[in-house]
Amino acid sequence: MDPQLLYSVTDSVATVVIRHPEKRNAMTAAMWRALPPLLAEAAGDPAVRALVLSGEGGTFCAGADISTLRGSPEEAQGLAVRAEEALAAFPKPTLAAIRGHCVGGGAQLAAACDLRFAEEGALFGVTPAKLGIVYPASSTRRLVSLVGPATAKYLLFSGELIDAERALRTGLADEVLPEGELGKRVAEFTRVLVSRSQLTQAAAKEFADGRTDRDAHWAGQARASGDTAEGVAAFLERRQPRFGWSVPTSG
């Protein structure tokens, strides 16, 4: 079976599945390269309102498939960082659905998502210290923003794996589900996401990621969109709102 990324869209939710089961879904060089254009396709699709990243079978992603990374370590790391940054910049809500191992480059991708839901038994690890690799500054800052300096240092210094419950306590996971319940919960939660205001989500994502200089821009978008008036009217009329604003497509 050739390693690849499987892409589908159902009910306004795009799903990207990492598929390389013989290597516990480790990312090959080709898969790292394929992720940014795949995300660009999803971002430009007005039918897509949220994105889920998962792994095939019982594991999320065990990192990078070192056997396919024939260049220098810096070149290989550059591929991973470009994919990570493309995921972090995705303009709509993103959710990592995690089973099994979420290690190395897998943890890098999961951290770049807005939210992480994990199944009991999942294991998380950030492992550059096992290979003598300097973890990128941008990836380190993202990890620190999720779990704080102490836990980030624990993970980076040791390379040891932590379980889902510890990931939940430290902020690396947002929810932990019993075995067999992850898919149901992800489907349920993404239905909530796609029913909400994209305007609110886009502004909140930008602000939460550190860009706080665009209050006037988003206030103007809110006035022009009519979403606020629709949301208030729907609340008063006890019906589901029909929000009209959508993330602008480029090109």
Does residue 127 sit within a domain? yes
- Name the domain boundary from 160, 177, 193: 193
- Residue 206: predicted pLDDT: 93
Q: How confident is the model at residue 3 (pLDDT cuts 50, 70, 90)?
A: confident
Residue-wise pLDDT for 114-138, tens only, equals 999 999 999 999 999 998 889 999 9
**Pair (94, 132) in one structural domain:** yes
Instruction: Based on the fold, state whether residues 82 and 98 are members of the same structural domain.
Output: yes
Which residue, among 171, 96, 104, has the nearest Cα to 135 in the 3D structure? 104
pLDDT of residue 69: 65
Mean pLDDT of 191-219: 93
Query: Which residue would you say has higher pLDDT here, 172 or 227?
Result: 172
Q: What is the pLDDT of residues 47-63, one digit of tens each?
A: 999 999 999 999 999 98
When divided into structural domains, the chain yields a total of 2
Q: How confident is the model at residue 251 (pLDDT cuts 50, 70, 90)?
A: very low
Q: What pLDDT score was predicted for residue 162?
A: 98
Shared domain check, 111 and 39? yes
Q: Which amino acid is at 22?
A: E
Distance, CA of 9 to chain centre: 16
Q: Say whether both 185 and 203 belong to one domain.
A: no
Q: For residue 245, which of 192, 203, 191, 187 has the smallest C-alpha distance?
A: 203
| CB 131, CB 125: distance < 8 Å | no
The string of pLDDT tens digits covering residues 206-223 is: 999 988 899 999 999 988
Residue 28 lies in a domain: yes
CA 183 – CA 186 distance, rounded (Å): 5
In a domain, 242, yes or no: no
| Domain enclosing residue 108, as ranges | 4-193
Asked if the structure places residue 245 within a domain, the reply is: no
In a domain, 243, yes or no: no
Question: What pLDDT score does 76 carry?
Answer: 73
Residue 124: CB atoms within 10 A of its CB come to 27
CATH number for the domain harbouring residue 95: 3.90.226.10
What are the beta bridge partners of residue 168?
none
Maximum mean pLDDT: which of 62-76, 133-147, 235-249: 133-147
Coil, helix or strand at residue 78:
helix
Q: Is residue 244 part of a domain?
A: no
Distance CA 6, CA 205 (A): 26
Looking at the fold, whether 116 and 213 belong to one and the same domain comes out as: no
177 and 202, same structural domain?
no
Q: Is residue 5's pLDDT more than 60?
A: yes
Q: Do 52 and 79 have their domain in common?
A: yes
**Tokens 């779990």 sit on residue:** 147
What is the C-alpha separation between 42 and 92, in angstroms, rounded?
A: 10
* Residue located via tokens 């294991």: 123
239-248 mean pLDDT? 90
**Confidence at residue 163, expressed as pLDDT on a 0 to 100 scale:** 98
Residues 113 and 215 in one domain: no
Are 166 and 220 members of one domain? no
Asked if residues 30 and 68 have their Cβ atoms less than 8 Å apart, the reply is yes
Rounded-to-5 percentages of helix, strand, coil across the chain? 50, 20, 35
Residue 76 placed within a domain? yes
Residues 122 and 17 in one domain: yes
**Residues 176 and 212 both lie in one domain:** no
Are 8 and 95 found together in one domain? yes
Are residues 223 and 208 in contact, defined by beta-carbon separation less than 8 angstroms?
no
Please report whether residue 251 resides in a domain: no
- Identify residue 243 by its one-letter amino acid code: F
